[in-house]
Amino acid sequence: MGIPTEPKPVKLFVALLSRHEELFPLVEKELTALFGPADSACGSLPWAVTDYYEKEMGIGLLRRIVSFAPLISPEALAGIKLETQGIEERYQWIEGENRGRRVNIDPGYVDDGKVVLVSTKGAFHRIYLRSGIYGEVTLLFQGGLFQPLVYTYPDYLWPETRAFFVALRSLYLRQLNLSGQPADR
């Protein structure tokens, strides 16, 4: 019989999406106030994966990923998604009765074997966490690389994104080692 144990801490990151690059430092300042100092980032990459966000956010979107120094419990991720939605609301545009986001914030985490994302949208491959938040494994670490799954978002397939997550995993493993917690590898 298995015995329930607490999970190892994980490495928090957020993926930011906006056409307003000048918002990234402002949003990152709010995020660091909540989650601690940033310790790595993937530069602002042009994002034209789909037109899903076009009506709300416009064209010329940029993707930036930022990670935070403190490790977190994986069970905190649903609450973090709810907190980031509050930040998105503070940066809304409003025109009469219409409103929309100027920045999209998608939190997730890296551990030694996977990249996990959260969403407010349920789907066949997502599991319900709490408070209307669903989680998904979007990349698996195998053979020294993060490998996609059939439903992995196209921007998580980009070589730059996958290389960032390999480097972030290495940073995470060093942090685990320094804290005296062995990685599963």
Indicate the pTM of the whole model. 0.92
Among 9-18, 48-57, 97-106, 154-163, name the one with the lowest average pLDDT. Answer: 48-57
Q: Which two tokens stand for residue 101?
A: 């986001």
- Is residue 125's pLDDT more than 80? yes
158 and 146 Cβ atoms separated by less than 8 Å: no
Check: CB of residue 135 under 8 Å from CB of residue 126. yes
Strands 98-100 and 38-47 come out as unpaired
Q: Which tens digits make up the pLDDT trace of 127-185?
A: 999 999 999 999 999 999 999 999 999 899 989 999 999 999 999 999 999 887 777 65
